[in-house]
């Protein structure tokens, strides 16, 4: 079985694995222009050392089409499962809608290569699989929000939940997804948390 996991952010990543082992990591990022003028670069690294690079992508569907082309050799003889991190809707509803449109346009170009529709998974669900068992309680203690007697200490510094989750993703996901560390080391350090978030979705898929 081939599994493909997507973190569909404006800066995002896709992780493909075969029989539970990471074989290909695709990352994309924009060049920092205004939203109306975004231009994306894409890098794909394979476990055999091969790399693919694309520059000047302007639309999310072009990213999806590029991901579909990169993974095609892995999916010609085996069925493909497809997991995508679901969109979180917080206080910024417009931002969530824009991101949902981006994710949908990207995922639509990959879905035809799958054996079924995407498995949409919330961040909370894949984190419950990938993160350390005590992570949630330690963050609650650090934020002073626990009802237990456990109190925050210097060993559990408080930080915004999103930042804490990104740090935990970087620390733990490469330990539980075989082959991911080597692929990460072949890509730029900046933005690796998106790759490990995709790895978290991948880890969740192994139990789905």
Nearest Cα neighbor of 202 from 122, 72, 104, 83 is 83
Per-residue pLDDT tens for 130-184? Answer: 887 766 666 655 555 544 434 444 445 556 677 778 888 998 999 999 999 999 9
Domain count, the chain: 1
Task: Give the per-residue pLDDT at 148.
Answer: 43
Per-residue pLDDT tens for 9-50? Answer: 889 999 999 999 999 999 999 887 676 778 999 999 999 999
CATH number, domain with residue 190: 3.30.420.10
Question: For the whole model, what pTM was predicted?
Answer: 0.86
Q: Alpha carbon of 206 to those of 45, 118, 144, 174, 192: distances in Å?
A: 22, 15, 34, 15, 21
Residue 111: which domain range?
2-205
Mean pLDDT computed over every residue of the chain: 85
């Amino acid at each position: 079985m081939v599994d493909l996991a997507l973190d569909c952010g404006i800066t995002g990543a896709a992780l493909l694995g075969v029989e539970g082992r990471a074989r290909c990591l695709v990352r994309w990022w924009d060049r920092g222009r205004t939203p109306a003028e975004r231009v994306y670069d894409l890098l794909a690294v394979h476990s055999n050392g091969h790399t693919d690079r694309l520059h000047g992508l302007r639309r999310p569907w072009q990213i999806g089409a590029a991901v579909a082309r990169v993974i095609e050799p892995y999916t010609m003889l085996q069925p493909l499962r497809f997991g995508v991190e679901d969109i979180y809707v917080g206080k910024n509803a417009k931002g969530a809608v824009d991101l949902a449109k981006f994710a949908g346009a990207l995922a639509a170009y990959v879905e035809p290569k799958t054996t079924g529709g995407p498995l949409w998974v919330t961040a909370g669900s894949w984190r419950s699989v990938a993160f350390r068992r005590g992570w949630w309680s330690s963050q609650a203690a650090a934020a002073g929000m626990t009802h237990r007697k456990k109190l925050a200490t210097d060993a559990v510094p408080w930080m915004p939940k999103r930042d804490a989750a990104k740090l935990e993703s970087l620390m733990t996901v490469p330990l539980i997804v075989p082959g991911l560390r080597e692929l990460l080391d072949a890509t730029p350090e900046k933005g690796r948390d998106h790759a490990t978030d995709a790895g978290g979705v991948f880890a969740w898929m192994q139990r789905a």
